[in-house]
Every structure is written in structure tokens, then in C-alpha cells.
């Protein structure tokens, strides 16, 4: 019943915190076993895919473009992680290749964690250009990860 004590914005921020927790756990899995990452990706991706509808139900208006852009980037990150784990499972990796892949997963997950931190701030802020710029910078960092 404690959810009555939170505003709708705080609930949206909490959803991002939960997804960030999934990303943090996935980063820990990347250190141990990259094939455990989908256990975190699946529920986080499901939550992220539902976020736009939730926003519209809460506020009876469309999600602002800058928020939607950040959310769409997050969704693409989760999907990319899922695809990369599948690709790794299909490949016959040497130990060195596996270690390099672990580093790539960790780097990519750090970008995702930063994006989720930014999204948490964005929910309660009136700034737009600032968050568009941050979203683009995080996207560029993630694009630099070599798989």
C-alpha cells in the first residue's frame, strides 16, 4: 500500500531505478558468466517496452519527445544486449575472445547504467536540450564499444 505515498513521477523514476538495478546485476554477471545476462535483460526490457503506455495512462498525454528518445535508446540497448548474448552462444569463442567480449559487455552496460541514471533525473526535470545532449553522448559512447 505504500505506493499511494509516491507521485506518478516518482513511480516512473522508481521503474527506472528497478531497470538500473537489473543493469547493475547484468554487469556483475558479465564478470562471471555473460550467459546469465538474459535473466536481467528480459524483465527490464519488458518494463521498458511498457513505459510509454504507462506514461500516457498516468498523465493522459503523450510522452515528451526527449523522454521518448531516451526510452527508445534504452530499449535498443536492452535488445542489443540480448542479441549479443545470443550471438556469443552461437559462436565458438576462444578464452581470449570470451574475455574481450566480457569487457565489451561491461563497457556497454556502463553506458546503459548511465542512461538509466539520466532517465531518472529527466523524469523530474523541465530541461530538454540538456537531456537530448546527454542521450546523444551516451549513445555515442555505446557505439564505440567494439564487439
Residue 95 is predicted with a pLDDT of 93
Q: Which domain holds residue 109?
A: 2-143
Alpha-carbon gap, residue 64 to 20, rounded angstroms: 21
3-class SS shares of the chain: helix, strand, coil, % to 5: 85, 0, 15
Measure Cα distances from 112 to 6, 9, 20, 29, 61 in Å.
25, 21, 8, 15, 27
Q: What are the tens digits of pLDDT across the range 89-127?
A: 999 999 999 999 999 999 999 999 999 999 999 999 999
Q: What are the tens digits of pLDDT across the range 16-59?
A: 999 999 999 999 999 999 999 999 999 999 999 999 999 999 99
Alpha-carbon gap, residue 64 to 52, rounded angstroms: 10
Residue 6 is predicted with a pLDDT of 75
pLDDT band at 5 (very low <50, low <70, confident <90, very high): low
Residue 1 is predicted with a pLDDT of 46
How many structural domains does the chain have? 1
The domain that contains 78 carries what CATH number? 1.20.120
Residue 81 is predicted with a pLDDT of 97
Taking residues 75-84, report their average pLDDT.
Answer: 97
Amino acid at each position: 500500500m505504500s505506493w499511494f505515498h509516491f507521485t506518478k513521477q516518482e513511480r516512473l523514476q522508481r521503474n527506472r531505478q528497478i531497470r538500473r538495478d537489473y543493469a547493475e546485476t547484468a554487469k556483475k554477471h558479465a564478470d562471471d558468466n555473460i550467459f546469465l545476462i538474459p535473466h536481467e535483460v528480459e524483465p527490464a526490457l519488458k518494463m521498458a517496452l511498457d513505459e510509454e503506455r504507462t506514461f500516457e495512462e498516468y498523465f493522459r498525454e503523450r510522452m515528451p519527445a526527449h523522454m521518448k528518445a531516451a526510452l527508445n535508446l534504452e530499449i535498443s540497448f536492452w535488445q542489443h544486449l540480448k542479441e549479443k548474448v545470443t550471438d556469443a552462444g552461437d559462436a565458438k569463442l576462444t578464452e581470449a575472445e570470451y574475455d574481450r567480449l566480457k569487457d565489451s559487455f561491461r563497457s556497454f552496460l556502463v553506458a546503459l547504467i548511465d542512461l538509466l541514471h539520466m532517465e531518472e533525473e529527466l523524469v523530474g526535470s523541465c530541461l530538454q536540450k540538456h537531456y537530448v545532449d546527454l542521450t546523444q553522448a551516451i549513445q555515442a559512447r555505446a557505439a564505440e564499444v567494439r564487439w
